[in-house]
Amino acid sequence: MTLDINRLRLDFPILAQKVNDQPLVYLDNAATTQKPQVVLDALAHYYHSQNANVHRAAHALSSEATHAFENARAKVATFINAPDTAQIIWTRGATEAINLVAYSFGMQHLTAGDEIVLSTIEHHANIVPWQQVAAATGASIKVIPLEANAELDMAAAADLFSPRTKLLAVSHVSNALGIINPIEQLIAMAKAVGAVTLLDGAQAVGHFSVDVQALDCDFYVFSGHKMFGPTGIGVLYGKRELLEKMPPWQTGGEMIKKVSFEKTTFGALPFKFEAGTPNIAGAIGLGAAVDYLMSLDRHAIAKHEQALLAQLLTGLNAMPKVHIMGRPQVGAVSFVIDDVHPQDVATLLDMQGIAVRTGHHCAMPLMQALELPNGTLRASLAFYNNADDIAALLAGLAKAEEFF
């Protein structure tokens, strides 16, 4: 199947606008993706025609809202091949999902002397919660170092796992470098010592299919807004036997079975982890994003993104002053220009309507390891980008080289 990218771009109204009197070239997709019209329509339809709280109410609007809300959960379960919709927990995003596991699993099961294995490449959201857990429980954190090519040193990783290792938490894809981590090997290492595994899939699910059962990870998290859905909605997938044993993280309405002043009993999965009125519109919007992605040929999309990545890397490698960090495989490309601050380059690009990101990309330990105190420029791709977007970025960078 040959993708008609120009037609697909019409599904995303924001791409038609101009920025600084220039056509928008949006290459900040690792931070957040744009939304197709079907997602915008789903949000509007809920607020226009279904707006009511979900579960328990007897009236028609609530019934419709509940059906749409739970149907979205079922779509997400199918999307990642979860065995049961009860294993799909709505959160505000990947960050909250990691925090839920950190506090509801980590605080309950880790003790002094236990070890948590992370990697140098992690987003802050997959570092800071575990630091809090370690500080509270007496556990320690072990960090997988990098090789010279900025990929994980798997020989060193193997030496980190021991009978004291209780948890492995790593990203599926690096948000800063676009590297796909060898998660199958890492999960196998963790399982060999009886450790629980959590994967941060925020940068993965928008680019390729994920099968949590094939991965056999214990927890998998991602955010809606990085896969063409709304902000403020995310997903925690967990194995049932772990979720059943974990206490609620937040408490209040919606997540209870019975309350008295003497005792409260909590609801069944997934509701015991969903206190309060949920982001109903966000969940429905995420369901629409899943429908949209599943309606496309994901193999063809991946092939198109790989062609764009190759075009970008070829162009950057032809610029003597440009240095690419690592060996990007999907999504994001981080690079620096000799003797030029990344923010200055990004400002010049923005004047030409080109949106990229600069800084540490919420990965300061990684930038420290790469000895990049000012961080990098990062161009990140989605399937709605085209060859013209890459050409515009490369032309803009050429102008920046001349200007600075």
The CATH number given to whatever domain includes residue 288 is 3.40.640.10
Instruction: Answer yes or no: do 175 and 201 share one domain.
Output: yes
Rounded Cα–Cα distance for residues 249 and 256 (Å): 13
**Is residue 311 a contact partner of residue 387, using CB atoms and an 8 Å limit?**
yes
**Is residue 376 a contact partner of residue 325, using CB atoms and an 8 Å limit?**
yes
- Give the H or E element holding residue 266: strand 264-266
Structure tokens at 37: 């019209």
Instruction: Answer yes or no: do 10 and 100 share one domain.
Output: no
Is the pLDDT at 301 greater than 80? The verdict is yes
Instruction: Answer yes or no: do 127 and 263 share one domain.
Output: yes
Residue 50: inside a domain, yes or no?
yes
Determine whether 350 is exposed, middle or buried from the number of CB atoms within 10 Å of its CB (0-12, 13-18, 19+): middle
Angle 208-214-215 (CA atoms, 0-180°, nearest 5)? 75
Among 294, 327, 347, the domain-final residue is 294
Residue 105: inside a domain, yes or no?
yes
Structure tokens at 260: 């008295």
**Residue pointed to by tokens 């902000």:** 231
pLDDT tens sequence across 216-232: 999 999 999 999 999 99
Instruction: Answer yes or no: do 199 and 253 share one domain.
Output: yes
Instruction: Answer yes or no: do 67 and 17 share one domain.
Output: no
Rounded Cα–Cα distance for residues 306 and 13 (Å): 24
Among 272, 294, 316, the domain-final residue is 294
Catalytic-residue membership of 362: yes
Task: Write the CATH number for 307.
Answer: 3.90.1150.10
Is the pLDDT at 58 greater than 90? The verdict is no
Is the pLDDT at 1 greater than 70? The verdict is no
Closest CA to 169 of 202, 138, 147: 202
Instruction: Answer yes or no: do 68 and 201 share one domain.
Output: yes
- Mean pLDDT for the stretch of residues 133-147: 98
Structure tokens at 194: 């009886």
Residue 194: inside a domain, yes or no?
yes
Residue 36: inside a domain, yes or no?
no
- In one-letter notation, the amino acid at residue 241 is E
Residue 35: inside a domain, yes or no?
no
Instruction: Answer yes or no: do 130 and 201 share one domain.
Output: yes
pLDDT tens sequence across 248-264: 999 988 888 888 898 88
Instruction: Answer yes or no: do 348 and 367 share one domain.
Output: yes
DSSP state of 340: B
- Mean pLDDT for the stretch of residues 149-153: 96
Closest CA to 311 of 388, 198, 206: 388
What is the band of 56 on the pLDDT scale with cuts at 50, 70, 90?
confident
Residue 90: inside a domain, yes or no?
yes
Is the pLDDT at 57 greater than 90? The verdict is no
% of the chain with per-residue pLDDT over 90: 93
pLDDT tens sequence across 314-363: 999 999 999 999 999 999 999 999 999 999 999 999 999 999 999 999 99
Residue 223: inside a domain, yes or no?
yes
Is the pLDDT at 173 greater than 60? The verdict is yes
**Is residue 379 a contact partner of residue 312, using CB atoms and an 8 Å limit?**
yes
pLDDT tens sequence across 179-207: 999 999 999 999 999 999 999 999 999 99
The total number of structural domains in the chain stands at 2
Among 276, 294, 312, the domain-final residue is 294
What is the band of 404 on the pLDDT scale with cuts at 50, 70, 90?
confident
Closest CA to 306 of 201, 381, 389: 381
Is the pLDDT at 60 greater than 70? The verdict is yes
Is the pLDDT at 8 greater than 80? The verdict is yes
Structure tokens at 61: 């609007």
pLDDT tens sequence across 20-42: 999 999 999 999 999 999 999 99
Instruction: Answer yes or no: do 124 and 257 share one domain.
Output: yes
Residue 336: inside a domain, yes or no?
yes
**Residue pointed to by tokens 């400002």:** 347
Active-site option among 156, 362, 364, 391: 362
- The predicted model scores a pTM of 0.96
Range of the domain at 361: 5-30+297-403
Supply the mean pLDDT for the chain. 96
Instruction: Answer yes or no: do 96 and 198 share one domain.
Output: yes
- Mean pLDDT for the stretch of residues 301-305: 96
What's the distance, Cα to Cα, between the start and end of the chain in Å? 43
DSSP state of 216: T
Supply the Cα-derived Rg of the chain in whole angstroms.
Answer: 22
For residue 2, the model assigns a pLDDT of 67
Instruction: Answer yes or no: do 140 and 254 share one domain.
Output: yes
**Is residue 282 a contact partner of residue 233, using CB atoms and an 8 Å limit?**
yes
Closest CA to 317 of 332, 302, 327: 327
Instruction: Answer yes or no: do 128 and 276 share one domain.
Output: yes
Closest CA to 238 of 209, 212, 267, 215: 212
Closest CA to 150 of 372, 2, 346: 372
**Is residue 404 a contact partner of residue 23, using CB atoms and an 8 Å limit?**
no
